[in-house]
């Protein structure tokens, strides 16, 4: 009976990309499978998504040697007493540590799942797109020609059957072109759309849209009517941190810039759930709790944790490594709308579990796992709501994506045709 239950869960995982682990408040997520549930003619390439996570044996040996060298260096250093912020950060870690350990132990026991996970990169085939040179959308938006650049949407032809039973007729759609910057570009169809911009191709998921601009244009997202606002707002700010500066993967902004985000103004009149990705720096957590959430009108309700694992199920680094934790935090809060009836407000408040653990194998640098379905599950009233991601670097079916490079991971090199 137990084997049948495990087999059913694995079959569900192969279909949905989400595996609910036993005896813990945790789920394992395969981002590729989750994302591909939305696409029709294209598939996210596992080899492209997991390009950093499935190293060769030689590379793995080098990483272990490097890690051992760092460990030897750390052993030679005399332990330094923790300052106030470091003690506060360690206390946060100790509080969540049992939940993280329990979630990871549940993953290790799920041997049937781990057999599938070990082959996530190769079991769906390689990308069919040529590597090519990556186009920098951020740099493109800074040149004087930016307002003149247009993106062309190439809709797939429709095959319509003839009433007399003859061969279907093929109806080709027009290929509209839109300004790519400071403009809402929408794919209203229920199919993937190929788009072209300066000789580069991008794949837009069904019923999705993006608004590509810098921070100065974000107020254009504020709806004219509050009942057209957003019920779910995911925010992944480019926080200042040493790793981002060193690797030069994206531009960061000082914390004070995020205080001006019009979060409350873009909310639906019934309120909204806000999900904010943060790093583990204690200074940042204090800024969010004391300044940022109050400035946005957000009331904190729960924290989710993204625990990063390797293909063999082990953690990407030691759980207690002080300055490099193997997890990131997603802070969840509510913005109350114009609902004044306390009973109505109570009935619409989503029931979010605290310390929910999401395990997955990381993709490219700073890329977060797709969490839309999970948030909808814990907040049923959002199922038909409007959703937006701020500082997005990829698009989600049914969502609006805003940022200075929302097409970053939509480039065709990351996809393969079905």
Task: Retrieve residue 62's tokens.
Answer: 């080098």
How far apart are the C-alpha atoms of 64 and 71, rounded to whole Å? 10
How far apart are the C-alpha atoms of 413 and 312, rounded to whole Å? 26
What pLDDT score was predicted for residue 122? Answer: 62
What pLDDT score was predicted for residue 358? Answer: 96
The domain defined by 141-155+175-303+325-341+362-417 folds into Rossmann fold (3.40.50)
Query: Where do the domains of the chain lie?
Result: 141-155+175-303+325-341+362-417
Phi-psi region of 29 (alpha: psi -120 to 50; beta: other; left: phi over 0): beta
pLDDT, tens digit (0-9, with 9 covering 90-100), for 37-63: 999 999 999 988 987 766 544 344 444
Q: Cβ distance 350 to 380 under 8 Å?
A: yes
Please count the CA atoms within 13 angstroms of the CA of 157 that sit on its side-chain side: 7
Per-residue DSSP letter, 344: H
User: Which phi and psi (to 5°) does residue 359 adopt?
Assistant: -105, 140
Within its chain, how far is the Cα of 218 from the centroid?
20
What pLDDT score was predicted for residue 323? Answer: 82
What pLDDT score was predicted for residue 345? Answer: 46
Q: Cβ distance 63 to 71 under 8 Å?
A: no
As to burial, measured by CB atoms within 10 angstroms (0-12 exposed, 13-18 middle, 19+ buried), residue 84 is exposed
Q: Which residue has the tokens 């969502």?
A: 399
Average pLDDT by stretches of 10, the chain with 418 residues: 70 93 90 95 92 54 44 59 85 94 95 88 51 76 90 76 54 78 95 93 96 93 85 93 56 90 92 93 93 96 95 93 91 80 50 89 91 81 78 95 95 91
**Strand, helix or coil at 308?**
strand
**Which run of H or of E encompasses 201?**
strand 200-204
Instruction: Please report the beta strands in 320-364, taking only residues with DSSP state E, as ranges in sequence order.
Output: 327-335, 356-360
User: H helices within 297-371, ranges in order?
Assistant: 342-348
Q: How many helices (H) and strands (E) does the chain have?
A: 12, 19
Residue 83 contacts by C-beta under 8 Å, 6 or more apart in sequence? Answer: none
């Amino acid at each position: 009976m137990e084997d049948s239950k495990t087999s059913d869960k694995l079959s569900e995982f192969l279909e949905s990309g989400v595996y609910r682990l036993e005896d813990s408040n945790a789920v394992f997520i395969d981002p590729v499978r989750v994302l591909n549930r939305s696409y029709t003619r294209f598939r996210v390439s596992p080899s492209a998504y997991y390009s950093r996570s499935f190293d060769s044996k030689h590379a793995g040996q080098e990483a272990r040697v490097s890690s051992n060298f760092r460990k030897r260096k750390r052993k030679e250093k005399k332990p330094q007493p923790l300052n106030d912020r470091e003690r506060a950060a360690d206390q946060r870690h100790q509080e969540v540590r049992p939940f993280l350990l329990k979630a990871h132990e549940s993953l290790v026991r799920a041997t049937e799942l781990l057999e599938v996970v070990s082959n996530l990169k190769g079991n769906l085939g390689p990308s069919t797109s040529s590597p090519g040179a990556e186009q920098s959308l951020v740099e493109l938006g800074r040149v004087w020609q930016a307002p003149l650049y247009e993106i062309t949407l190439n809709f797939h032809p429709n095959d319509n059957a003839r009433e007399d039973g003859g061969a279907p007729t093929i109806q080709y759609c027009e290929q509209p072109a839109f300004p790519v910057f400071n403009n809402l570009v929408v794919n209203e169809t229920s199919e993937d759309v190929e788009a072209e911009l300066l000789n580069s191709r991008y794949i837009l998921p069904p019923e999705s849209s993006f608004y590509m601009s810098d921070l100065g244009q974000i107020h254009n997202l504020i709806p004219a009517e509050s009942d057209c606002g957003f019920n779910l707002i995911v925010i992944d700010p480019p926080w200042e941190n040493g790793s981002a500066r060193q690797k030069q993967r994206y531009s960061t902004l000082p914390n004070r810039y995020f205080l001006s985000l019009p979060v409350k103004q873009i909310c639906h009149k019934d309120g909204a759930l806000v999900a904010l990705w943060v790093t583990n720096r204690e200074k940042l957590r204090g800024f969010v709790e004391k300044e940022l959430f109050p400035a946005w009108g957000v009331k904190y309700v729960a924290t989710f944790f993204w625990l990063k694992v390797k293909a063999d199920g082990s953690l990407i680094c030691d759980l207690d490594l002080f300055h490099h934790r193997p997890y990131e935090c997603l802070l969840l809060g509510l913005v109350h709308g114009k609902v004044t009836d306390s009973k109505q407000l109570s009935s619409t408040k989503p029931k979010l579990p605290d310390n929910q653990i999401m395990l997955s194998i990381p993709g490219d640098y700073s890329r977060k796992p797709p969490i839309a379905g999970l948030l909808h599950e814990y907040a049923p009233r959002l199922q038909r709501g409007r959703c937006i991601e701020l500082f997005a670097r990829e698009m989600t079916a049914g969502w609006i994506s805003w940022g200075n490079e929302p097409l970053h991971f939509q480039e065709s090199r990351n996809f393969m045709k079905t």
